[in-house]
Chains A and B, each alone.
Chain A
Amino acid sequence: MQNNDKLILGGHEFTSRFILGSGKFSLDLVKACVEKAEAQIITLAVRRANEGGLANILDYIPDTVTLLPNTSGARNAEEAVRIAKLSRELGCGNFVKVEIMRDSKYLLPDNQETIRATEMLAKDGFIVMPYMYPDLNVARDLANAGAACIMPLGAPIGSNKGLCTKEFIQILIDEMSLPIIVDAGIGRPSQACEAMEMGAAAIMANTAVATAGNVELMAEAFKKAIEAGRSAYLAGLGRTLEKGASASSPLTGFLQD
């Protein structure tokens, strides 16, 4: 059954549910990390691309992986659109992760601008994956604007604090039909596993892997945790206990028809 369990984004199918970030660690470890993580999607900051120059991140990402360029550095929808178009010109494909921040301290996403950018980019043929603060109304607006998934934050980027927004992410998982991909804040594999058990469609992680003592080994640990969490979700953990009836039916046992 697991073999048919696919993550579908903009019509593209993926068997891996681990989206790996490529920032914050040595470029010569990227390839090994992708292999250990068995990641099929890797994010990169378009602003880090340095075509033909020194330390160009694009030179270090294996060809077999789908690139997910992000618009980090954008402060509004227009800037995000310009960065996305640049990434397409650089040959990074049609996927784009919208990141719009007007806050240099916590790097919290600007939901309103993200909705605007998602609409403009989706109309332009991009497969839009918006990073957002978990708010159901915003998630619905993003879906209507043409998003391919919703990427709520678990905690501020780089904080490794885990699922601080757990209850709100659960609401998105319960109410939205688009894949919910938990992005930002995941600090350890057990937290990734927990999010997957809740029904998240995938996990995006960077800092937790990048700042580990052994980067490749941590990439592998995340892969395993995400797979375990996915299996647990498919197996029906939690949901069965929450929603199932108890065996003795103490309140309805009197019914005779």
Chain B
Amino acid sequence: MSQEHLNESILSEEILEDQKKNRIDHMTYLPGMEVLESDVMDQVVAAMEAYDYDKYTEADVRRALVHDSRTPEDFAALLSPAALPLLEDIAQAARVETRKHFGNSVYMFTPIYIANYCENYCIYCGFNCHNKINRAQLNEEEIDKEMAAIAKTGLQEILILTGESRSKSTVQYIGEACKIAKKYFKVIGLEIYPVNSDEYAYLHECGADYVTVFQETYNSDKYETLHLAGHKRIFPYRLNAQERALKGGMRGVGFAALLGLDDFRKDAFATGYHAYLLQRKYPHAEIAFSCPRLRPIINNDRINPMDVHETQLLQVVCAYRLFMPFANITISSRECARVRDNLVNIAATKISAGVSTGIGEHSEETEKKGDDQFEIDDGRSVQEVYDTLLKNNLQPVMSDYIYV
């Protein structure tokens, strides 16, 4: 493993042994994986490699702040260490942009984990196929009950998640889940294993409109040491997922690096630049960012996001906002209530509520069947989050979308 930005909290003796074994080439597509004619990945990787954040000065950051619309170079400055002393000014500017584009609206949603089977071996993730946890998959009846229970809380947007197992959670299975979701919700997002554009088109027909794919890290050498097996190991197939989703007719795509895996400044820069290039190529696409930091998982409670403290998280969130002021930014329940409540007042526009990352926990009629992907920190209910937003002079919005 590259010694730079090594997050030792992820590692164990077993993983270190596994890393020594021969593994398939992470840059070669597997049979059945659609290959796009696209130079987006090459551009993102080249820009990230060229990004030298130490060269930026306070003057560069100040210049970026006064610009009316901000260039990738401004974004690079805002993510640099030179920006940290100006964080209050940056947050103020980010807040202005958020208000301009979203007013005081904050969108609410919840994720539903319908399965946690996974064929990947991502060494930091609780769902990875070598982690000994309780596995489960909801059947259609159970999905219906879970979704009905979620809808009763007043939410109108749902994010469907599965572990990444194509054989257990097939595209057809996920499509059926979307059709059920359509009965209860106005907005359906997916966070599933990457698929081909015709499969995205099928899922769009079933009711889904938003696809989020976490690239985790844009450093392919580091990526290779963290994703030891499964489809996810194929770096370019994952990186091009958003473009395939847009080609499949999805309205919006979400981007994220898992902050703490590698050099977070480079990863955040690549994430923003990736979104920037796709928005230019597909101007109608709605763009969203998530800003996850590493969290402890079952069987490894030591995992932490290394040098991405709250300060750095705020810097990243604000840099996304200033670079792409029209994009949605989701703030995960990985973060505590204090951090989330403050971030939605500055730059984030979407907040989850009533979250469980286990399988089958929303309805009293279904028993919890599968273990959690990671530990959440903010376990507040929908009503609690709703009331807090109102108290903070923010307007909770349940639906801002029509499937057409």
A residues within 8 Å of B by Cβ?
A: 23-27, 45-50, 53-55, 73-75, 78-79, 82-83, 86, 101-105, 107, 158-160, 207, 210-211
Contacts and interface: CB of A to CB of B under 8 A. Distances in A.
Interface stretch (B102-110, B134-142, B226-234): B102-110
A23 B99 CA distance: 11
B397 interface: yes
Contact of B400 (A47, A104, A207, A210): A47
Contacts of B395: 25-27, 55
Interface string B389-402: 01001111111111
Interface residues of B, number: 31
Given A105-B279, A211-B103, A54 B326 contact: no
Contacts of A26: 104, 390, 393-395
B283 interface: yes
Tell me whether chain B's interface is mostly helix, strand or loop, or mixed: loop
Contacts of A104: 279, 283-287, 326
Nearest to B324: A105
B109 to A, nearest CB: 13
Given A86-B402, A104-B287, A48 B397 contact: yes
Interface string B263-298: 000000000000000010001111100000000000
Given A26-B394, A103-B284, 17 more contacts: A24-B99, A25-B104, A26-B393, A46-B402, A50-B156, A50-B398, A53-B399, A54-B386, A54-B398, A75-B284, A83-B404, A102-B283, A104-B279, A104-B284, A104-B285, A104-B287, A158-B100
Given A50-B156, A104-B283, A105-B279, A79 B399 contact: no
Contacts of B400: 45, 47-48
B104 A73 contact: no
Nearest to B252: A104
A67 to B, nearest CB: 16
A95 B283 CA distance: 29
Tell me whether chain A's interface is mostly helix, strand or loop, or mixed: loop
A98 B320 CA distance: 31
Given A54-B154, A55-B397, A104-B285, A82 B404 contact: yes
A20 to B, nearest CB: 13
B101 interface: yes
Contacts of A78: 404
Pick from A47, A55, A79 the residue with the most CB of B within 10 Å. A55
A105 B99 contact: no
Contact of B399 (A47, A107, A158): A47
B402 A83 contact: yes
Nearest to B99: A211
Contacts of A82: 404
Contact of B156 (A53, A102, A105): A53
A24 B100 CA distance: 8
A48 B397 CA distance: 8
